[in-house]
Chains A and B, each alone.
Chain A
Amino acid sequence: MNKLKLNYTSLSFLPILVCIPLGYQLINNIHFGGFKLFQEFLISAFNPKIDNEIIITVIKRLNETILIGFFSWLVSIIFGAIFGIISSNIFYKIFNIPNFFYRILRFFLTIIRSIHEVVWGILLMQIYGINFSIGIIAICIPYIAVNSKVFAEQLETIDYKSFESINQINAPKFSSLITLIWNPIINTFKNFGLYRLECSIRSTVILGIFGIGGIGTSIFLSFQTLNFRELWTYLWSLAILIILSGLIFKKIKFNTTNKILSIFFISVFFITTLFSFSYFLYFIFNNNFENFNSVSSLFKSSSDLGLFDFLKLILETIILSLLSTGIAISLPPLVIGIFNNNTSKIFIKIFAFLLRLIPTPVILLTLLTFNNPSVSLAALTLGLHNAGITSKLLFTNLDSQDKRNYIAMKSLGISKKTSWLLGLFSQQAKSYLAYCAYRSDIIIRETAIVGVIGSVGLGWQLQESLSSFAWQEVTLVLIAYSSIAIFGELINGKIKNGLT
């Protein structure tokens, strides 16, 4: 008998097994009360509301979203680079700083990164109230930490020998540093920086749903009032914004040897750094700390949360992450493999785009129209949204791949699906899984968003504890979140190393 052999291809499909428990719970939780609503939601997609009034609102809201998105992007990419540099090996080698500091800084950044911007946002709103800059700050905090990791990783690729040779010239340390890191930094800006703008805009939309303002707030309000036609106007206009920004950035190719452009970028760099730093100081010293006083009760307030309940929430969050990751990994290759023809491909691409476009809270609220809240429903939401993202990557890679194997296999009379699996997908499986491992880090953080809305796991507890000002519980939840995320990151690091 043949043994079942695990390889990258089968590993890409195996996680779909999560659908068994997931499906079971979903079927048990089905209710038909809101089915009409769901139908209405779908139909409205083709019939969005368009009149003068709403167009003015859209422009105003989009403006807010772009402003928050753009500034949080700019600040987080610049400070990400700065923190990336000072948390990189090369910095410590050049300045002869003990490794100890490097570990502390990296650990600190890992903790900050482990908490999702929505959580930061909710937290800051509770302390400082709703205001425009809270949105920017909430996005910037985790984004700076995320970006710094990417920059630091790029700086690790600097050849140790070129470091030694520059070192031997005995230049001033800052001269050596900048000469060595210049190109890796510029390349990271080019390859990674622009993509982060799209991420900032998406995060702004999500924060909007939690009340920060911009198009996200409008989306949420129109959903609450069941104004689906209006909702779709907002969603489509957001789609246009995202597609447009993608197109514009594809066209821009900035050349670092262009002097005027370089000087422009450097001025932007310094102005942003100075401005955000002074704003930060202003923010610290000029805020009313009335609400903040409640933080001091952190050590006094007793918690109603039992240890058992707390462990249950942690477990729920972990299960939620695992289930969603399973869907995000296996659904795209399964669907693309089964419906392997040109017409289906277009439909899958559109569907995947919608899954990326519609913010997870809205997907979840829509699903809630015919299913009771449960871990599975939250997992389905998060899984589908992320499957939209992983499938985009898979499509891009498959389209750019050499198709000779696939064609050769088909000409041998092997079925189209099998040829696709063995001739095309099998060569992508490894890098696809490596990307999914990275994606699952993000999924763990995103459990916060669906948790708050779908009343599961730690996200929900966070909301509860915050609204009752139980700061001790809040701290506990945050620590639990960080621990799960850091633990997940450790495991994923191992998996990624195995895959590359």
Chain B
Amino acid sequence: MNNTVLELENISYKYKNDLILNKINLKINSGEKIALLGKSGSGKTTLISVLNGTIKPTQGKVKLFNESFEELDRKQKSKITTIWQDLRLIEDLSAEQNVNCGLLAENNFYFAFKNLLNISSFKKAHKYMKLCRLHNSIYDKKIIKLSGGQKQRVAIARSLIQESNILLADEPFNNLDPKLITTIKNLLLENVDKNKTKKSPKTALVALHRLDLLNDFDKVIGIRDGKIFFNIKRNNLKKIHLEKIY
């Protein structure tokens, strides 16, 4: 059985005259926890945007479950969840409304409408916000009024509520204190058991700068100037690898 979840075939992305991603080939298998390393400006965010379909590559093919991304329907595409580096919350909605946005894909228009009127149920949203250690006094506060770390966790809760098994996270530990980092890391990497019947393992690709957090990952990918320099098991990571990319 082929258990490749996401696949990049010869991906290049050009912005004006800059080649930001350069011929990237990558296979992400089901259940893999991958850390994406690379210095600032190396193309991590761009790679993640290509993986979730936000950026159309100039060249190459993105495949999800062995099918070309463009041919998939909405429901299938929604199986990926993303935590953005710049969070991308809706600033003038409340924290709980933003978290509920994660449920929009599996609900109808009426749910979206009730969410805006504050008459939908926030039970699930609150559950995930609590897991992210968000205090209930901020549930109905607008995003603009939150601190950096609070915003970060609202974005994380919005992703978790999607209960998706494919996670793309771009520096999700920004703005968090050491204790919170451990909590959040476990939440992000633990398996999701949506239907309570069969356990499907979580696949995660996490861009990060903190080398001390690598222990929980199976694989490490190093990227520099839009090129993959190494794609190896974590146990095989040597100092020389890191010297190449930093």
Q: Quick check: is B112 within 8 A (CB to CB) of the other chain?
A: yes
Contact of B86 among A161, A174, A259 (CB under 8 A): A161
Residues of A within 8 Å of B152, CB to CB, are none
Q: How many angstroms between the C-alpha atoms of A183 and B53 in the bound complex?
A: 27
Q: Given contacts A162-B90, A179-B104, are A169 and B109 in contact (CB under 8 A)? A: no
Nearest CB in chain B: distance from A372 CB, A: 56
Which of A172, A183, A257 has its CB near the most chain B CB atoms (within 10 A)?
A172
Q: Which of B91, B104, B109, B116 contacts A166 (CB 8 A)?
A: B104
Residue A99 is within 8 A (CB to CB) of chain B in the complex: no
Q: Chain B: how many interface residues by the 8 Å CB criterion?
A: 34
Give bound CA distance, A277 to B176, whole Å. 53
Residue in A159, A166, A172, A179 whose beta carbon sits within 8 Å of that of B108 in the complex: A172
* Contact present for B74 and A257 (CB under 8 Å): no
Instruction: State how many angstroms separate the Cβ of B97 from the closest Cβ of chain A.
Output: 8
Residues of B within 8 A of A179 (CB): 90, 93, 101, 104, 112, 115-116
A164 at the interface (CB under 8 A from B): yes
Given contacts A175-B111, A262-B117, contact A169 B88 (CB under 8 A): no
Answer whether A259 and B117 are a contact pair too, CB < 8 Å, given A162-B90, A183-B93.
Answer: yes
A182–B100 CA distance with the chains assembled, in angstroms: 15
| A199 located at the interface, meaning its Cβ lies under 8 Å from any Cβ of chain B in the complex | no
Q: Which of A161-178 contact B (CB under 8 A)?
A: 161-162, 164-172, 174-176, 178
A175 adjacent to B54 (CB under 8 Å): no
Instruction: Evaluate contact between A168 and B111: CB separation under 8 angstroms.
Output: no
Q: CB-CB < 8 A to A170: which residues of B?
A: 74-75, 77-78, 105
A466 interface contact, C-beta 8 A: no
A447–B217 Cα gap in the complex (Å)?
A: 72
How distant is A165 from chain B, measured CB to nearest CB, in Å?
3
Contacts of A112 in B (CB 8 A): none
Please state if B54 and A167 are interface contacts (CB–CB under 8 Å).
Answer: yes
Q: Can you name the residue of chain A whose Cβ is closest to the Cβ of B140?
A: A257
Please report the C-alpha to C-alpha distance between residue A53 and residue B153 in the assembled complex, in whole angstroms. 69
B104 near A169 with CB under 8 A, answer: yes
The residue in A162, A183, A266 that gathers the most chain B C-beta atoms within 10 A of its C-beta is: A162
- Scan residues 24-81 of chain B and give those whose CB is less than 8 A from a CB of chain A: 52-54, 74-75, 77-78, 80-81
B138-182 interface mask toward A, CB cutoff 8 Å, 1 = contact, 0 = none? 000000000000000000000000100000000000000000000
CA–CA, A260 to B25, complex, Å? 55
* A180 interfacial by beta-carbon distance below 8 Å: yes
**Interface presence of B92 (CB below 8 A):** yes
Partner of B104, one of A161, A175, A256, A262: A175
The verdict on A169 contacting B105 (CB below 8 Å), with A162-B88, A164-B88, A183-B93 known, is yes
User: CB-CB < 8 A to B104: which residues of A?
Assistant: 166, 169, 171-172, 175-176, 179
Residue A172 contacts which of B54, B74, B81 (CB distance < 8 angstroms)?
B74
B89 interface residue per 8 A CB criterion = yes
CB neighbours of A182 from chain B (8 A): 93, 116
Is residue B118 within 8 Å, beta carbon to beta carbon, of the partner chain? yes
Interface flag for B122 (CB, 8 Å): no
Chain B proximity mask over A174-211: 1 for CB below 8 Å, otherwise 0: 11101110110000000000000000000000000000
For A183, what are the chain B residues with a Cβ–Cβ distance below 8 Å?
90, 92-93
12 pairs of residues in contact across A and B, judged by CB atoms under 8 Å: A165-B89, A166-B104, A168-B80, A169-B104, A175-B104, A176-B104, A178-B109, A178-B116, A179-B90, A179-B93, A179-B116, A182-B93
New A-B pairs, 13, CB < 8 Å, besides A169-B105, A183-B90, A257-B118:
A161-B86, A162-B88, A165-B84, A168-B52, A169-B104, A171-B78, A171-B105, A172-B105, A175-B104, A176-B104, A179-B116, A183-B92, A263-B117
Nearest first, the 9 closest Cβ-Cβ pairs linking A and B are: A171-B104, A165-B88, A175-B112, A170-B78, A183-B92, A170-B77, A182-B116, A161-B88, A175-B104
